[in-house]
Amino acid sequence: MSTTTKEISVGDIGARGAEASSKLDGDKMALNVGPSHPTTHGVLRLIMELNGDLIDKCEPVLGYLHRGDEKIAENMTYNQFVPYTDRLDYLAPLANNVAYALAVEKLTDIEIPPRCQAIRVLVCEMARISSHLLGMGVFGMDAGAWTPFMYTFTEREKLYTLFEELTGARFTTSYTRIGGVSRDIPEGWLDRVQKFVDELPKAIAEVEKLLTRNRIFLDRTEGIGEISKEDALAYGLTGPNLRAAGVDLDLRKDKPYSGYEQYDFDVPIGTRGDCYDRYLVRIEEVLQSIRIIKQVIKDFPTGAWYAEDAKKIFAPPKEKILSSMEELIQNFMIVTEGPQIPAGEVYFEAENPKGALGFYIVSKGGGVPYRMKIRAPSFCNLSILEKLAPGHMLSDITVILGSLDFVMGECDR
């Protein structure tokens, strides 16, 4: 396939950013941050009105990474959409894969075997660790501490190696299928995961030594970006940001899915809801994830890693397709006509590292969803910024953004 490239000059962006300035009458200054700026962790643009060093107004501008995922979902079969879920929260693709699979399975009423559930819990928690490690490291960096990032990134690298062994890809894993996962865990992999979680607390301790009682870090984060319980609920925050504000809501506990009810873990809750609390909650969540992973590995179920019903709806086993006529025909029909999903509507959300990632699926039967809405936690978490930023100093905005730990791939969809 030949492609053509066209060079587009974008003119003077700086001049366009100054436009907002000209509307103010001289006392205040307009500052345009982003869309491509290290603070914004992606392509978020902030238009701020500054009064000296204080922020008077902050308007987030989104959409720079909008790809129309919901439109795309309406035009392809259920399993075809799995790779697109990788690209929502691209710092925890495995957790997105699982959330999406569970949503469709809720619609089809497929029963998932214990081994498959255990694999999913395991990868979800590994994704949480990976996402929080990056979140904490980058947060430290935003507050001026470079070194913790080196520690967390080293650990994250080890996780990616494990992901690669499991799924074949380090980043865009596309691991789940509706009714199961794409492959069973490789031999000896659990031991390597065990080794990783045994060693991880050491690295977390290093990070904690560098940050948790660090005077400079405390000065920059304590009391900054305080979100009250009421505000957090009103603005629809979820995940660590909501829990840091003191609301006890963790879907793994309150609406257990994929067998989370079998595992013993604590939900950390903040008291002040400031940037420092959000950091503490994430640290503790990593330690709790380690706890869950250890329990999963200890009692790892044997048996099928693919639901029996899924064979009829989504795909027969590969070796059968190649050797048996019936499965061959079945596979052909599934591929050509798409899996047959009952009509109905369903909403499912999972506790992802960034918050509650929800899928609202309306099906009219057949192989393609009629409407699919993706409820992105980062989108909701960012909406509080308009209220949160005013009154803070300009230098605080980097810390606030870092502590909210959002990802634009999911926010803009």
Partner 1 sequence: MIDEDYIKSLLDKHSFLSHRESIDCFTVDCPAEDLVSFLKALRDHEGFELLIDLTAIDHGEGADIRFSTVIHLYSLVHRGYIRVHSACLNNDEPTIPSVSSIYPAANWHERETFDMFGIQFSEHPNLKRILMWDEYPYFPLRKEFPLAGIDTPLPADDVVEVTQASVEPAPMMGGPFVSPGSGVISDSEPRAKDESWTEEKEKKS
| Residue with Cβ nearer partner 1 (38 or 365) | 365
Does 9 interact with partner 1 (rule: CB under 8 A)?
yes
CA 104 vs. chain centroid, Å, equals 18
Q: Within 10 Å of residue 373's Cβ, how many Cβ atoms?
A: 15
Cβ 298 to partner 1 shortest distance, Å: 29
The region, left, alpha or beta by phi > 0 then psi within -120 to 50, assigned to residue 405 is left
Q: What is the DSSP secondary-structure string of 198-259? A: HHHHHHHHHHHHHHTT-HHHHHHHTTTT---HHHHHHTT--THHHHHTT----HHHHS--TT
| Residue with Cβ nearer partner 1 (42 or 140) | 42
Q: How far apart are CA 260 and CA 251, in angstroms?
A: 10
Tokens of 13: 């962006």
Segment interacting with partner 1, rule: CB under 8 A, options 11-19, 184-192, 263-271, 388-396: 11-19
Does 63 interact with partner 1 (rule: CB under 8 A)?
yes
Q: Which of 360, 399, 354, 358 is nearest to 381 (CA)?
A: 354
Cβ 220 to partner 1 shortest distance, Å: 27
Does 373 interact with partner 1 (rule: CB under 8 A)?
yes
Cβ 36 to partner 1 shortest distance, Å: 16
Does 255 interact with partner 1 (rule: CB under 8 A)?
yes
Cβ 312 to partner 1 shortest distance, Å: 17
Do you find a cis peptide bond into 35, omega within 30 degrees of 0? yes
Cβ 348 to partner 1 shortest distance, Å: 7
Segment interacting with partner 1, rule: CB under 8 A, options 76-84, 182-190, 208-216, 315-323: 76-84
Q: Which of 72, 287, 297, 321 binds partner 1 (CB under 8 A)?
A: 72
SS3 177: strand
Please name every residue paired with 129 in a beta bridge, in sequence order, or none if there are none.
none
User: What residues make contact with partner 1 under the rule CB under 8 A?
Assistant: 1-2, 6, 8-12, 16, 62-63, 66, 68, 70-72, 75-77, 80, 106-107, 109, 233-236, 238, 247-249, 254-255, 335-338, 344-349, 356, 358, 360, 362, 366-368, 370-371, 373, 375, 379-380, 382-383, 387, 412-413
